[in-house]
Amino acid sequence: MKAHDGMYIDGEWRAAAGRDTIAVLNPVDEQLIDHVPAGTAEDVDAAVRAARAALPAWAATPPAERAAKLAALRDGLLARKDEIAATISAELGAPLPFAQAVQTGLPIAVAGSYADLAASYAFEEKIGNSTVHLEPVGVVGAITPWNYPLHQIVNKVAPALAAGCTVVLKPAEDTPLTAQLFAEAVHDIGLPAGVFNLVTGLGPVAGQALAEHDGVDLVSFTGSTAVGRQIGATAGAAVKRVALELGGKSANVILPSADLAKAVNVGVANVMGNSGQTCSAWTRMLVHADQYDEAVELASAAAAKYTVGDRVGPLVNAKQLTRVRGYIDKGVEEGARIVAGGSEAPLERGYYVAPTVFADVTPEMTIAQEEIFGPVVSLIRYEDEDDALRIANGTVYGLAGAVWAGDEAEAVAFARRMDTGQVDINGGRFNPLAPFGGYKQSGVGRELGVHGLTEYLQTKSLQF
């Protein structure tokens, strides 16, 4: 695909207000792929106006028709799946099989789930002498990160459209080509002009203008806690709805009765997928003191199977590379022991980090507290179950987690005590219909499935 040199606003590709552009690089070889326009507040304003103008008609469109459009969007994305996967692979650096199966396959399924939900959801309910209408919140400003470029977009745009909202999307500066492809797919289904709009640009310029715009009723943001905090404050001051999907430092708790080898292997795989650039990654592995040395050996052997290049792609950009290496060095400085990988560049070119396993990590270390967003897993020793729980709950985050035990009920009992939004029991599979979102500083609100849909609805009660 050749990049568009404009914004997608009011149903057409339009020249940007300014002349600045963003260079899109391939993190595998650091070569230029293309340029996209860097949007300004003026572009954002035009997009929000288009979304406002389109709102009344889209909100009044019967849910069955909105469902049909979402089904067409799912089909359109499916028809372009190879182009999408190749684009994500190029601008994110994800190995092609992962780009195909996860980065592309998952969001297509999510788009389909919202076609189904728009068709089946009861947008009206009776409570005593009241009829409660679930109405769209209005214009949505969606700000997305680069780690799962299409998934993060679909997670917001599909439920918003299903609810009857209109949308302005500001995607991550590192992965705008996927966003342009998504806009093409939206255009092809003949969605009414203005229902979906795309402004590419930089976070502090276009993103901030969108978050601050009076014409936006709900800001949905996924990304760093630092930016999320700022967006939450801005939205709060304007008494505007806000959804924040922020970072994580999820615990993989391996109880003594668990199948240790399986728990460690799946745990390492969970972190290495997408080169560790997953907000829900189980970056802390909690192991009982008696099994700790064996777990360290298993983990370093598991990490060795993730060869840099074909199985583990690069990080998205040079800034993330510096950041992740900095964390690895910090881990060593604070006394943790590297048993696999390290901060040295594993390849001559590209933003690669070797799959890294740390042993002798204590709960208060920086690498056990802060989100690294790279292929780095920290093994932490615990003495008993209460100690494990204290460690698991001992960060500001609470996005995901895992518990492994010989007995499912034992794992469930532990999971119920964890301060976190999702827990996988003995390797339970990702469910794209289950609510996804954080406890504590991992965020506000939920994405996916029916819980993701209701984020975009507000209630009106009529009394009879």
Write the DSSP string, 43-72.
Answer: HHHHHHHHHHHHHHHHHHS-HHHHHHHHHH
Asked if 83 is an active-site residue, the reply is no
* Strand ranges of the sheet holding 124-127, from the earlier edge strand across to the other edge: 124-127, 130-136, 457-463
Q: Pick from Mg ion, ligand NAP, none: which does 247 bind, CB < 5 to 8 A by kind?
A: ligand NAP
Residue 100 or 208 with smaller CB distance to Mg ion: 208
Q: What is the largest CA-CA distance in the chain?
A: 72
Contact by Cβ (8 Å): 406, 425: no
Across the strands, what pairs with 300? Answer: none
What's the closest the beta carbon of residue 172 comes to Mg ion, in angstroms?
A: 7
Residue 114 or 146 with smaller CB distance to Mg ion: 146
Q: Which two tokens stand for residue 48?
A: 């929000």
What's the closest the beta carbon of residue 456 comes to ligand NAP, in angstroms?
A: 19
For residue 240, how far is the Cα from the chain centroid? 22
Q: Alpha helix locations (H) across 99-189?
A: 105-120, 149-163, 176-188
| DSSP state letter for 317 | S
Residue 245 or 424 with smaller CB distance to ligand NAP: 245
Catalytic residue among 91, 173, 212, 245: 245
Site string for Mg ion, 408-447 (x = CB under 5 A): ----------------------------------------
Contact by Cβ (8 Å): 99, 85: yes
What's the closest the beta carbon of residue 378 comes to ligand NAP, in angstroms?
A: 15
For residue 39, how far is the Cα from the chain centroid? 22
When CB distances to ligand NAP are compared, the closest residue is 203
What's the closest the beta carbon of residue 291 comes to ligand NAP, in angstroms?
A: 30
Which residues make up the interface to ligand NAP (CB under 6 A)? 143-145, 147, 170, 172-174, 202-204, 207-208, 211, 222-224, 227, 230-231, 245-247, 279, 320, 323, 371, 373
Residue 11 or 223 with smaller CB distance to ligand NAP: 223
CA distances from 166 to 10, 62, 158, 249 (A): 11, 15, 10, 33
| DSSP state letter for 306 | S
Residue 263 or 321 with smaller CB distance to ligand NAP: 321
**Beta-carbon count within 10 A of 128 CB:** 7
What's the closest the beta carbon of residue 212 comes to ligand NAP, in angstroms?
A: 8
Residue 89 or 280 with smaller CB distance to ligand NAP: 280
Contact by Cβ (8 Å): 275, 374: yes
What's the closest the beta carbon of residue 259 comes to ligand NAP, in angstroms?
A: 30
Q: Pick from Mg ion, ligand NAP, none: which does 54 bind, CB < 5 to 8 A by kind?
A: none
Nearest to 141 by CA among 226, 67, 201: 201
Site string for Mg ion, 173-212 (x = CB under 5 A): ------------------------------x---------
Q: Pick from Mg ion, ligand NAP, none: which does 227 bind, CB < 5 to 8 A by kind?
A: ligand NAP
For residue 389, how far is the Cα from the chain centroid? 26
Q: Which residues are catalytic?
A: 245
Site residues for Mg ion per CB under 5 A: 203
